[in-house]
Amino acid sequence: MSTENPASNGNVVNGNGGGPKGSVAIPVFPVYLFDVDGTLVDSAPDICGAIQTVLATTSKPDVEQAFLQRYIGFHLIDLFKDLFEGISDEDTDNLVTQYRAVYAERHHSATLRYPNVLETIRKLPGLKSTATTKGTPTTRIVLELFGLLPYFDHVQGTDGFPSKPSPEVILRSVEHFGVEPGDCLMIGDAPPDMEAGRRAGVKTCGVRYGYGDLNRMAQWQPDYWIDDLSQLLPGDAG
């Protein structure tokens, strides 16, 4: 997996990604809906680091990033309820509130943009929106920081309604653009992305380079798979 940080003078951090695979061409869609974490940016160090800071004050101070990373794409409530059996809704909400404060204080300093994301978003035809568990204000900050905001026609986060795998965040963009669900392609790296897409009635594309469990993603039968975002561009294989 390769990533690039706009604050790192263009340096590229190499990891465990792979080249394009598969042979199914992805057609041009009128609307593209993007998950953010694990799809556009590698934000695990900041997300997991913020969670670890919060957990340091609890009875679970030593949870490793590899474990926490599996929850990216799910709501934090799911993580805290799995970690702390019988935790109350009030205590869960307090942990979420603490996380959001700590996460904001990190200023996305360890987050990296995946390679070819900016170039792809620039060239990709059609309307573009986000469909993320982040709130809309935070999503705008991330897109702006990584030079992506000017290329998005709409920014949609999860604001006071159920997060993925609920289809609501997807349907908000569908409604905003006034299109049919079948006109849209949802691109994401986690099972909730694929489930939400199926429930919303849009086409789905799973990315293999993110954080999600590929077997669990496959259970939702994505219409397409890609190993690099540039495979969305006309003429590329998916």
Structurally, how many domains does the chain consist of?
2
Residue count (the chain): 238
Domain harbouring 125, CATH code = 3.40.50.1000
pLDDT digits (tens, 9 = 90+) for 133-157: 999 999 999 999 999 999 999 999 9
The yes-or-no verdict on residue 238 having pLDDT over 80 is no
The tokens describing 107, both together, are: 């200023």
Which of 105, 134, 156 terminates a domain? The answer is: 105
Strand pairing report for 41-42 and 112-113? antiparallel
Give the domain range for residue 37.
27-43+111-232
pTM over 0.85? The answer is yes
3-state secondary structure of 159: coil
DSSP class per residue in 72-114:
BTB-HHHHHHHHSTT--HHHHHHHHHHHHHHHHHTTTTT-EEP
The answer on 200 and 125 residing in a single domain is: yes
The answer on 129 and 50 residing in a single domain is: no
The yes-or-no verdict on residue 188 having pLDDT over 80 is yes
Q: Residue 142 is which amino acid?
A: V
pLDDT digits (tens, 9 = 90+) for 79-118: 999 999 999 999 999 999 999 999 999 999 999 999 999 9
pLDDT digits (tens, 9 = 90+) for 45-80: 999 999 999 999 999 999 999 999 999 988 899 999
The answer on 142 and 96 residing in a single domain is: no
The answer on 227 and 128 residing in a single domain is: yes
The answer on 228 and 146 residing in a single domain is: yes
Beta bridge partners of 186: 33, 204
